[in-house]
Amino acid sequence: MRIEEDIQGVSSSRKHLVFAYYITGHGFGHATRVVEVVRHLILAGHDVHVVTGAPDFVFTSEIQSPRLFIRKVLLDCGAVQADALTVDCLASLEKYSETAVKPRATILATEVEWLNSIKADLVVSDVVPVACRAAADAGIRSVCVTNFSWDFIYAEYVMAAGLHHRSIVWQIAEDYSHCEFLIRLPGYCPMPAFRDVIDVPLVVRRLHKSRLEVRKELGIADDVKLVILNFGGQPSGWKLKEEFLPSGWLCLVCGASDSQDLPPNFIKLAKDAYTPDLIAASDCMLGKIGYGTVSEALAYELPFVFVRRDYFNEEPFLRNMLEYYQGGVEMIRRDLLTGHWKPYLERSISLKPCYEGGINGGEVAAHIIQETALGKSYASDKLSGARRLRDAIILGYQLQRAPGRDIAIPDWYATAENELGISKAAAPNVVNLSHEDFEILHGDIQGLPDTVSFLQHLTELDTGYFSDKKSEKRRECKAAAGLFNWEEEIFVARAPGRLDVMGGIADYSGSLVLQMPIREACHVAVQRVHPSKHRLWKHAQARQNGKGQGSTPVLQIVSYGSELSNRAPTFDMDLSDFMDGEQPISYEKAKKFFARDPAQKWAAYIAGTILVLMTELGVRFEESISVLVSSSVPEGKGVSSSASVEVASMSAIAAAHGLNISPRDLALLCQKVENHIVGAPCGVMDQMTSACGEANKLLAMICQPAEIIGLVEIPSHIRFWGIDSGIRHSVGGADYGSVRIGTFMGLKMIKSNASEVLSHSLQCPNGFNPEGLENDGVELLGNEASLDYLCNLSPHRYEALYAKMLPESIIGEEFVKKYANHNDSITVIDQKRTYGVTAPTRHPVYENFRVKAFKALLTSTASVEQLTALGELLYQCHYSYSACGLGSDGTDRLVQLVQEMQHRLLSKSENGTLFGAKITGGGSGGTVCVIGRNCLQSSQEIFEIQKRYKAATGYLPFIFEGSSPGAGKFGYLRIRCRLSHKPS
């Protein structure tokens, strides 16, 4: 039901009414909108008792009336925030339990008695659950006025913090179900607990002064650009600097502490300043999204530069409304903290907000409330919303966890740093992607901004307009523009890189590993083309003409980013080159084929997927294939750029040819590409994470060979970062391979030793056992003599029986002479080389134990002890890598900087927020994984480490933050471009 906006106000009632108006303790936005409703009720001659924890001035600055009564009671806590941008899910649920669940019986008795004492005619709630139940117990009708409800908000908190809090959500829904109906505000979330709904316009506070009056009082000329910094009632908490603002700009700061020093171009506002007047006098607002900020920005047509919050489920709905009316610009958190404000502010003032809806929601709501108290019935008789809460829990969980929504770079703003993390990119003039440009025949973009950008780029290729003006990129784009027949279907797949949180090089020893898919991903577009219609490059056409065979299937690939890695941007081959008579060529022959030209060896990662499909699944490719590869996963940084390319390529090729391959099987096939065609001796965890991972979860897998045991939720108070050392990592490097060989040598020695001891004990006469072995010991020796995976050996057995018998190192020739081989099909022993044995063997035995402990700790109670223990496990892993010879100066320096930050704060009796770090993946450079609290201070400390590393080395590290879905969760897109303007 919608109430029209043109009602004639709230008429003076023939009956004096008493209202009890309950306000949630979550932020000022609820209190400020309640003020506008209460003002109209009091103007109509009624008494209003406001039950709130907000300061009195919020109400008394607008309402000076003896009919206003303020009762300072807080009956719900809302969402507990660690800082202005970080919600603490577990703390929110625990505090709600303390304030509203445990004392529930006392609260209900107290409120029923109080409601009867004031002779309330109606209870209004924004949006306190227990108020509805108390009203029902007192025999009084109740209504709610809100744009969200706590059952929806807390639903995901339960998912993140543990299902033992689930009863809280059901209790809240049951309380709301006692409410007669909901007066629903614009920008609303799903709220299934309410029996009926009435929609009203925006509730917005009125203006007291004009723009000119406000600026005159502040001494600011009308031509000065003014931004208001508004992060609610919480202090900003970070140091503001003069250079944050463009020249000629001033900033009004809300919520600054009395002791906070501000630069001359920042103006501290009084705590009781009337913000609607200040908002209307500004040129734009910078802050976090909430109902109050969004509604007043829209009402007064003020562009809003906003920064996202984690675990704030109200936000996407308000954001959609803000952007629908062209009033929003998203700023990434990194740029907020580092002061890179200029492009956002300058873009904001170019917007033309166009909200034309009503802003008299306070008046409309007051009219409905009055008429309800007088006996009018608005509600229909529907089922209790508690029965529909299951849908809200699912939606609440999926909403925040929607792929790509994790502090992503805005669509309009290119990556803030280039590949080396040095130069800032200017905000491009991007044409917004429209479904008029292409038709999605299958699949879902899933809100991923990088996918939107990739599809937009395809439309640029179709039109021949390339937004990137660099000559290298234009050459790549021109090659790509000739790949596809734009009137035919194109298949698009996406696969992310991964951050090795725990497990690393222990994967090939059978360890449990924990891996997180990162935000950066590879996109691959594939099209099948009949050979007679395939537009071949000139040299490919000449090659076919030379063979005199007519049109035969050809593979043509364009891969972006060639100028960053000194390789060719294109590759082509006749698909017949993959055949040896009636059978596919061997992997070894393919490996030599791609190794002929170092500038084109990269094509093995992509074309190799075709050969693997031919060999392993018997697929035959009778049509030409065009492939475009675009990856934002940086190469050589230890975040599995190669796995993302392989998984995305095979996913797209499989989709284009109607092959239904499970994500797990696809990952195993991609590992064959890497091991046998590329020639890199990696385990399978990289491909598994890229294929099977999910956003903001750790993929838990036992690598024996690849058993996925589940997805581990990252607790809401914990965050992982990757910091690139700038030292190029290569999984194909000699160090990684030699450590792997040493590990398999150690496994062979342990098995051999166990066999000898077991054989000797069994051969003793009369059952005499010289080793003193009981039956259990014999059984253990039997298991160890036939170990398939080193990680199945427990640390205490390793220390007790095998640690002292292993040599520190051994020459390859000596090992082969005694043990024949090391039983690893991926690596080859160089008999002239000396291999470390003790450290490479010890590492996976203990790493498997560390990973299991880490996984268990993630589900334990949130505490400093928990974070400290998790961080300690990362440190231990890092130094174990170093003992194997897989450390590097850069990664060691980054780990040391994390330690210095952690211990420096502890020595000052401050709460540190970073707790541990380790080298990742194959080691010998690459990226360091850091664990810390999910809060602003952690981000600031990460940025400080980034700066200190640059000061020491001259290299500004790339920071990996955020997560995105694996290829299996993404699926594939089948699209057809609608523009079809052939490039000239």
**Residue with tokens 């829990």, as numbered in its chain:** 393
Cα–Cα distance list, 276 to 188, 285, 314, 565, 812 (Å) = 22, 11, 22, 53, 77
Q: Judge whether 888 and 919 are in contact, CB under 8 Å.
A: yes
Burial class of residue 893 in the structure, from the number of CB atoms within 10 Å of its CB (0-12 exposed, 13-18 middle, 19+ buried): middle
Strands 225-230 and 197-199, how do they pair?
Answer: unpaired
Backbone angles phi, psi at 334, to 5 degrees: -60, -45
Question: Which residue in 406, 319, 313 sits closest to 92, CA to CA?
Answer: 313
Strands 142-146 and 579-580, how do they pair?
Answer: unpaired
In the set 572, 686, 724, 824, the catalytic residue is 686
Q: Six-digit token pair at 203?
A: 């509730």
- Rounded Cα distance, 149 and 173, in Å: 9
Rounded to the nearest 5 percent, the helix, strand and coil shares of the chain are 45, 20, 40
Q: Among this protein's residues, is 686 annotated catalytic?
A: yes
Contacts 24+ apart (CB under 8 A), 895-902: 895/919, 895/928, 897/945, 897/948, 897/949, 898/928, 898/930, 898/945, 899/875, 901/941, 901/944, 901/945, 902/871
Backbone angles phi, psi at 540, to 5 degrees: -70, -40
DSSP code at position 583: E
Give residue 638's region: left, alpha or beta (phi > 0; psi -120 to 50). left
Whether omega before 705 lies within 30 degrees of 0, making that bond cis, reads yes
Burial class of residue 292 in the structure, from the number of CB atoms within 10 Å of its CB (0-12 exposed, 13-18 middle, 19+ buried): buried
CB-CB neighbours of 265 under 10 Å = 18
Task: Reduce the DSSP state of residue 869 to 3 states and report it.
Answer: helix
Q: Six-digit token pair at 789?
A: 């995976």
Give residue 228's region: left, alpha or beta (phi > 0; psi -120 to 50). beta
In one letter, which amino acid is 538? K
Edge-to-edge strands, sheet with 927-933: 914-919, 927-933, 718-724, 959-960
Angle between helices 361-373 and 27-43 (to 10 degrees): 60
Element (DSSP H or E) covering residue 445 = none
Strands 304-307 and 284-288, how do they pair?
Answer: parallel
Q: Judge whether 923 and 884 are in contact, CB under 8 Å.
A: yes
Burial class of residue 161 in the structure, from the number of CB atoms within 10 Å of its CB (0-12 exposed, 13-18 middle, 19+ buried): buried
- Rounded Cα distance, 47 and 917, in Å: 59
Q: Judge whether 474 and 468 are in contact, CB under 8 Å.
A: yes
SS (H, E, C) 94-122: HHHHHHHHCCHHHHHHHHHHHHHHHCCCE
The count of residues in the chain is 984
- Rounded Cα distance, 500 and 625, in Å: 33
Q: Six-digit token pair at 539?
A: 């040299």
Helices (H), 764-805: 775-785, 795-797
The catalytic site residues sit at 686
